[in-house]
Chains A and B, each alone.
Chain A
C-alpha cells in the first residue's frame, strides 16, 4: 500500500517549538531534514500564552540563542512588550519575558523553515515509525507515503493522543481545534516505548472591546528594551500594555458550586497535571483560604482583538466559565471567543533517554518537548535544539553535545529529565539550578557561544562580534583594576547618597565596585576614563566583581561535579552483577541507566557508598 516518498538524514515529527529548533539545527549542520506537521498553519503555534520567556525560561531563550537557535530571534522580531523580571532580586534571577504577536511568531517560524536550506516542511500526519533490518527508520504518513531516515525526532507536544475536556464534553483533538495524532501512539507502543498520560490546560480568549479597562491596573514594558537575541542589533519598541485584575468571593462561590462538573474532579481526566500551572478550580480547592487570585489580560497580537486571560485556565463547562469570568472586575461583560479547556496527551518517561535525548534502547530515535514530559515553549525549544544538534552530530560522525548542569539551564533541564525523571509536566525554575549565580542570563553568550561556534551553528559575523566583545571586556577589566578613584568631594557625596562610607584615600575602581551599594551607574559622572562600550559588558563585570566570593565557591563545586562526570559507566550494565551495591541502588541504576558517575550520584536512592562501590568496580573492569 505504501509508496516510497523520499529519504532524509533526519525526520522531525511535529513543528512546534521543539520540532522547529530540532529541524533548523540539524539542517543548518548539513543534514537533509524533513519536518512534518499536521497543519501547516500551526507551525510555531502558541496555543497557550502569547509570551516567550519568564523566570528561568528567559534564561533558556538566551541560551538557545547563544548556541545558535532561533527562538530568541523570533521573539524579538514579533515583540509586543518586553520586561526584565526580578530587577532588584539579584542578577541570578533576572529574567526576560516578552509578550509576542502569536500569528506573527508562527509566520516568522514557518517562513524561516521554508527558506532554510536542507530543510523540507511537509503537512502530513505520521501514523507509524519503525526500524528496518538495515537500521534505517521508516516513517509512514496517513496518505501511505513512506519516508526513510537515519534519525527520527519525536516532538509531538499535546497532539499525541490528544483529548480535550470542557466540562462534560470531551473529544479527541490537538490544541486550538486542530486534529490530533491519533494513530502514532499505537505504533510507538508496538515499538516498545512506555507511554503515559499528562495533562495541561489553557484559559479563555475574550474580545478586547468587551473588556472594561477603566479600573484595571496597567502593566507596561521596560524601556529601553533588552532583546533576547545577540543578533538583534536594532533597538526594539514596546507596542502594547497588559492589564491586571483579580478574582473575588463571587468567583470562588461559582466555582465551588460547580466543582462536581469539572472533569478533573469528576475523575474523567486520568492525566497528571502540572503542579505549577493549576487551573483556577485547582487553585481555589487547594488554596482555599486565599481570598483572591491575580490574572493578567494580555493581547494576542496587533491585528487581532483576542485577549488572553493568564492565570484563568479551567476545564469547567462553558456556562460555568462564562459565569465566573463575568464576576471579575473588567470582565463583567466579556465575550468569551474561545473557551478554556484542559488537554490530555501521551508522553514518555524521559528516564528512557540519555543526555543527547536519544532513546537508550533505540538508536537514532530522539524525543523533545512535551513528549519528554516537560511543559512550556522554552523548555521544548531547548530540548529540540539538543536533540537536533545531536541527531546531526551523530550522522556526521562527530562527538555528541552534552551540556552538563554547570554549563546551562539547558543542561540542567536535560539532566533533570533523564536522571531524575518527572512525575508531572516539568517547568524550569531558577531554584532547579544549584549553580545559578553562574548560569545567569547576562552571560549566556560567554557560557555557550564558543560551544555553538564549535558545533557550527554560530556564523562568522556573530562570532567576530562575540570575540570583539570579549576583548573589550578584558580591556575594561584592566582599566578598572588600574584606575584609582581619589576621595574627591563629588565622589564622596555620591557614596554618602548611596548609603555607603566615604573614601579617605584613593581606591581602585575594581575595589570600589565590590560594595553592594556601588554600581557603574552611580559612578558615571566621576569615572572619567570610561569607554563607550556595550552596556552588557559593564553589567557582567559588575556582577562578577560583586559576587566574586560566591562565584568562586560555585566553581569549586563545579570542578568536583565534573570529576565524577568524566567517569563513564559502560552501556548495558546490569547492576545486579556489581557486588556491594545496595538493593535500592541496583533497582534505580538499572532503571535510569546513567551515563557517568556524576549522573549516578544524583539519582535518589543511590548513596555515596554506592558510588564508591561503582568507582572501584569501574577500576576492576578497567573503565
Chain B
C-alpha cells in the first residue's frame, strides 16, 4: 500500500480567470477518470504524459464545468508522482465543486505545503526553489492556523467539541474496559456503543447538511435570469438590485463573465447574472451566445425564468422551459399589470414555482423574494448555530462521519470491539484535526479522569 492521493485548488483563490485542481498520487489518474469525461471519449489513463484532453467534470452524473485535463506521468511531474491538473473556467464556487467531486472520488485534501513535501520526498525539489517555497508555506501555515482558530472559536467549536467529547468518552470507556479487565469497569454493551456512534453520525450529518446551506450564505446563490428577448429580464434585474432592502455590491476580480450584481436578500447573497435572450437563430455569433446562456442555465443553482404574461407561449419559450430544472426554477410571469393571455398551466408542466410580477410597478417582488428564500432552503438556517466554514473542515467532518459509519458497520457485522475501537479512534482523530489535539493522548487522559483504575 502506498501514499494517499491528494488534491487541492492550486491557483490563488479569488483571482485569475482559470482555476486549477491538482491531483497527485498513485491513484491520481483513476480518480481523475472518475470525474472527467473527454469530448473525444479518450480516458486520461489512455494518454501519454505531458498531453491534455478537453472535456467536462461531472459530479453524480451532473456536469459541473468544462475543463482541460493535463497529465504528468510519474516521475515527470512537480511531485514526482502521477499528477493530473484539471483547468476549469468556472468561478470559485464551480472550482470548489470540482474539488469536492475529486475528493468524493477518493482523493484527500492536501495539507498546506503537501505537494512540495512530496516533491521533496520523491527527490524532485531543487535547492534554489526550496528556500522561496519554504517562506511561503511558513507564512501560509501561520495564516491558516490563525484562520482555523478564528473559525473554530465559538459555536462551531462547541458543536464539534460536543460530538468529540461524547466519542472520546466512548473510546475511553472501551479503552478502560480493555486495558483494565481486572477493575470493575462497567462492561461496554453493543447497544450503548451503537447509540453513542449513531448520535455522532446524526450530528455530523446534520452539521454537513448545514454546510451546503451555510455555503449559500457565505458564497451566494448563483442565480441566472433567463428568458427570450424583451420579456423584461433587465427590468427585473434592475428592480431586484434597486430594491430598497437589497444591497447591491460589486464583486471585483470575479471570473464570471456575465455576473453583474450581487444582492443580499435576507442575509443571503444572490449572485445575479443576466443572460442573452434565447431564441433560434442562424446568426453564428448570436448562436454562440445562446449556447453559452443555455449551459449557464443548466449549471446555476437558481433560475429566474421570465415570461411575458401578455403574450402566448411560443417555440422559444418552450425551448427555454425544456432545459429548466423543475425544482430550482421560478417562472416569473411578467407584466401582471396587463391582461394575462399566457397559458400558465403549460408552464406548470415544466416548473413548480410560478410568481406573477409587474417589473414595471414592482408589484409581486416581495413574493418573489420569499419564494427564492424558501426554494433555497435557507429560511431555516440559523447562522449563529455554528457551522462548518470551509472545505477543509467539511473534509474532516466527512472523514469522521465515514469512520463512524465504518465502526457501526463493524459492530453490526459482529466484529470484536478492538476493531470497532480502531475506526472510532480514527473518527476522533479526524475531528481532532480540526482542533490540533492528539488522539491517543485525549483518550488516555479521559481514561484516567473518568475511571478508577489501579493496581
7 contacts between A and B (CB under 8 A): A90-B419, A296-B182, A429-B179, A559-B2, A615-B120, A619-B125, A622-B127
A429 to B112: give the CA distance in the assembly, Å. 33
Contact A607 B447 (CB under 8 A): no
**A342 within 8 Å of B by Cβ?**
no
Contact string against A for B residues 437-453, beta-carbon threshold 8 Å, 1 for contact and 0 otherwise = 11111011001100011
Residues of chain B in range 195-249 having any CB-CB distance to chain A below 8 Å: none
* Inter-chain contacts of B130 with A (CB < 8 A): 616-617, 619-620
**B317 within 8 Å of A by Cβ?**
no
**Given A609-B137, A619-B125: A294 and B183 interface contact (C-beta under 8 Å):** yes
B134, B181, B437, B454: which contacts A617 (Cβ < 8 A)? B134
**B366 within 8 Å of A by Cβ?**
no
* Inter-chain contacts of B443 with A (CB < 8 A): 431
**Given A429-B444, A582-B145: A609 and B140 interface contact (C-beta under 8 Å):** yes
A50 to chain B, nearest CB (A): 12
Contact B179 A430 (CB under 8 A): yes
* Inter-chain contacts of A296 with B (CB < 8 A): 182
B3, B141, B419, B452: which contacts A547 (Cβ < 8 A)? B419
A622 to B135: give the CA distance in the assembly, Å. 18
**B111 within 8 Å of A by Cβ?**
yes
**Given A283-B454, A547-B419, A619-B130: A611 and B117 interface contact (C-beta under 8 Å):** yes
Contact B418 A612 (CB under 8 A): no
B392 to chain A, nearest CB (A): 11
Known pairs A294-B182, A431-B444 / 17 extra A-B pairs, C-beta < 8 Å: A55-B178, A89-B178, A283-B452, A287-B452, A429-B175, A431-B440, A547-B419, A559-B3, A582-B145, A608-B113, A609-B138, A609-B144, A612-B111, A612-B114, A615-B121, A617-B134, A620-B127
**A537 within 8 Å of B by Cβ?**
no
Contact B178 A276 (CB under 8 A): no
Residues of chain A in range 580-623 having any CB-CB distance to chain B below 8 Å: 580-582, 602, 604, 607-613, 615-620, 622
**A86 within 8 Å of B by Cβ?**
yes
**Given A313-B454, A434-B425, A580-B138: A559 and B1 interface contact (C-beta under 8 Å):** yes
**A535 within 8 Å of B by Cβ?**
no
Contact A579 B138 (CB under 8 A): yes
Contact string against A for B residues 91-105, beta-carbon threshold 8 Å, 1 for contact and 0 otherwise = 000000000000000
Q: Which of B54-62, B305-313, B408-416 contacts A (4 or more CB under 8 A)?
A: B408-416
Contact A580 B137 (CB under 8 A): yes
* Inter-chain contacts of A579 with B (CB < 8 A): 134-135, 138
**A489 within 8 Å of B by Cβ?**
no
Q: Which of B423, B448, B452 has the most CB of A within 10 A?
A: B452
Contact string against A for B residues 109-142, beta-carbon threshold 8 Å, 1 for contact and 0 otherwise = 0011110110011000101001101110111111
**A286 within 8 Å of B by Cβ?**
yes
Contact B455 A277 (CB under 8 A): yes
**B4 within 8 Å of A by Cβ?**
yes
**B184 within 8 Å of A by Cβ?**
yes
* Inter-chain contacts of A580 with B (CB < 8 A): 134-135, 137-139, 141
**A463 within 8 Å of B by Cβ?**
no
Contact string against A for B residues 374-418, beta-carbon threshold 8 Å, 1 for contact and 0 otherwise = 000000000000000000000000000000000000000111111
**Given A287-B452, A582-B145, A615-B120: A436 and B113 interface contact (C-beta under 8 Å):** no
Contact string against B for A residues 65-85, beta-carbon threshold 8 Å, 1 for contact and 0 otherwise = 000000000000000000001
Contact A310 B455 (CB under 8 A): yes
Contact string against A for B residues 157-192, beta-carbon threshold 8 Å, 1 for contact and 0 otherwise = 000000000000001000101111111100000000
* Inter-chain contacts of B291 with A (CB < 8 A): none
A49, A431, A546, A622: which contacts B175 (Cβ < 8 A)? A431
* Inter-chain contacts of B415 with A (CB < 8 A): 90, 516, 546-547
B325 to chain A, nearest CB (A): 40
**B289 within 8 Å of A by Cβ?**
no
Q: Which 8 A-B pairs have the closest CB atoms?
A: A609-B141, A580-B138, A90-B418, A90-B416, A612-B113, A92-B418, A556-B1, A431-B175
Contact B178 A555 (CB under 8 A): no
Closest to B450 in A: A287
